[in-house]
Amino acid sequence: MMTMFTRGLAAAALLALHLATAAPTAVADDLPAGPAPMALPVGIAALTVAEESRDGYKRTSFKHWVDADRDGCNTRQEVLKAESRIAPTVGAGCKVTAGQWYSYYDGVTVTDPTGLDIDHMVPLAEAWDSGASAWTAERREQYANDLTAERSLVAVTARTNRGKADKDPQDWLPPLADARCTYISDWVSTKLRWSLSVDRAEQAALTRIAEGCGQEAVEYEPAP
């Protein structure tokens, strides 16, 4: 017959076993889903350096804007709704007709969405040059409509987006000087997310700009 003493020992042993097996699970649950934030220079150093090639590029190789979740709103409208600083006005066919957006490239506040473009942080042509040429059409469509990372797509004034075109940071930076560190952090994060490379001139430009960016961090989750 088990005495109170032996029952106590058994209970203690079971408790110790439970703690030993449960602790790792609790720690694992607290871990971030993606890589931990890193300093901007560290993020730049993590990028693969490779030669770029635009051979075969066509903008139509990246299908956009699509309604991936079939809720009636395409990618452009989803970004406009998500980034409006006030509740946006949405009409028939999920067309956003009013709201308030801050174009961080040039520090301009916009209330008419027709004055906005949705910019691919890393332009489609640049993505092609940097590795997307080897992707499937489905993967390129996912890239062109990436709504699961805030850094991938951004509503900005049409003027700045068209000035940027398909240029990398060696050839174009936001006209608002205070936006440049955020911009290159977003650029690096997007390239790391999608495993896109940089060429040496681009790497040098990023490194040079990062020298004046203090504690700017890079944070991303790898694209699914």
Per-residue model confidence as pLDDT tens digits over 95-121: 999 999 999 999 999 999 999 999 999
Q: How far apart, in Å, are the Cα atoms of 115 and each of 33, 84, 93, 95, 100?
A: 36, 13, 19, 14, 11
Instruction: Share the mean pLDDT of the chain.
Output: 88
pLDDT of residue 160: 98
Question: Does the structure show a pLDDT above 50 at 23?
Answer: no
Q: Which of 157, 159, 151, 169 is nearest to 104 (CA)?
A: 157
Question: Does the structure show a pLDDT above 60 at 55?
Answer: yes
CB 116 within 8 A of CB 155: yes
Q: Give the three-state DSSP class for 98.
A: strand
Structure tokens at 75: 């990618």
CA distance 72 to 66: 10
User: CB 131: neighbour CB atoms within 10 A?
Assistant: 16
48 sits in which H/E element? none
The owner of tokens 């990246």 is 62
CA distance 6 to 190: 60
Ordered by start, the domain boundaries in the chain are 1-31, 36-218
Determine if residue 2 is left, alpha or beta; phi over 0 gives left, psi from -120 to 50 gives alpha, anything else beta.
Answer: beta
CA distance 4 to 24: 31
CA distance 103 to 115: 10
The CA-to-CA distance between both ends of the chain, in Å, stands at 58
Tens of pLDDT, residues 122-137 = 999 999 999 999 999 9
Average pLDDT over residues 145-173: 97
CA distance 134 to 109: 38
CB 101 within 8 A of CB 84: yes
